[in-house]
Amino acid sequence: MTDTNKDTAAEKSRDLALHYMQTLVDVARESFLILNAELKIVAVSPSFYESFRVAPEDTENKFVFDLGDGQWNIPELKQLLEGVLPEKKVVKNYEVTHVFENIGKRTVLLNARQVDAVQLIILAMEDITERKELEVQLAAYTKELEARVAERTKELTVRLQELETLNKTMVGRELKMVELKKELEELKKQR
């Protein structure tokens, strides 16, 4: 096979892979970017546009770090992506918190993977901001509930001690009454 035929076959293979990935990305609920080896965006999911409030003309064929006038030039993201292709590693559940111009502070869970030998990276993003906020709220509620339970337990312990004291007193009185009745009976017999 000549070099030209190999290049054409590789290009067809890459185009076919890109077509399949674009089809998957179009139907996915999560936000996806497909990047080439230079980290230029070659395909974008509709949910990415919606989630990050960006327009296709400001996204497609741009370098990922140039998005939003450089607001995607996030050190953690840069480190993550620049290590994916050269080292061929898969990145799962990489959490990044960043303040985006249009949508504010967000916590995004990133997953990235090189797609075979076609030199493409698929970058999946899940906005977990609400989940993180709910986790913080849940932790606060749990702490508050634990404090309430501890306070109630303390109150119940005090009440229980009071009842035990009262019970001992009452049992003691009953025993004393029984003794007094016996003494009274004996006194009556002695008369």
CATH number at residue 48: 3.30.450.20
- What's the total number of domains in the chain? 2
The verdict on 122 and 58 lying in the same domain is yes
The verdict on 107 and 142 lying in the same domain is no
Dist. CA 41–CA 88, nearest whole Å: 18
The verdict on 184 and 143 lying in the same domain is yes
The verdict on 122 and 29 lying in the same domain is yes
The verdict on 188 and 107 lying in the same domain is no
The verdict on 96 and 140 lying in the same domain is no
Q: Which residue has 């400001």 as its token pair?
A: 58
Q: What is the pLDDT of residues 112-139, one digit of tens each?
A: 888 766 778 889 999 999 999 999 999 9
pLDDT at 1 over 70: no
The larger pLDDT score, comparing residue 51 to residue 85, is at: 51
pTM over 0.85, yes/no: no
The verdict on 24 and 39 lying in the same domain is yes
Among candidate residues 13, 3, 2, 100, the one with its CA nearest the CA of residue 51? 100
Out of 86, 101, 127, a domain closes at 127
The verdict on 143 and 173 lying in the same domain is yes
The verdict on 93 and 142 lying in the same domain is no
The verdict on 17 and 41 lying in the same domain is yes
The verdict on 152 and 184 lying in the same domain is yes
Among candidate residues 188, 13, 35, the one with its CA nearest the CA of residue 124? 35
Domain containing residue 162: 129-191
The larger pLDDT score, comparing residue 40 to residue 16, is at: 40
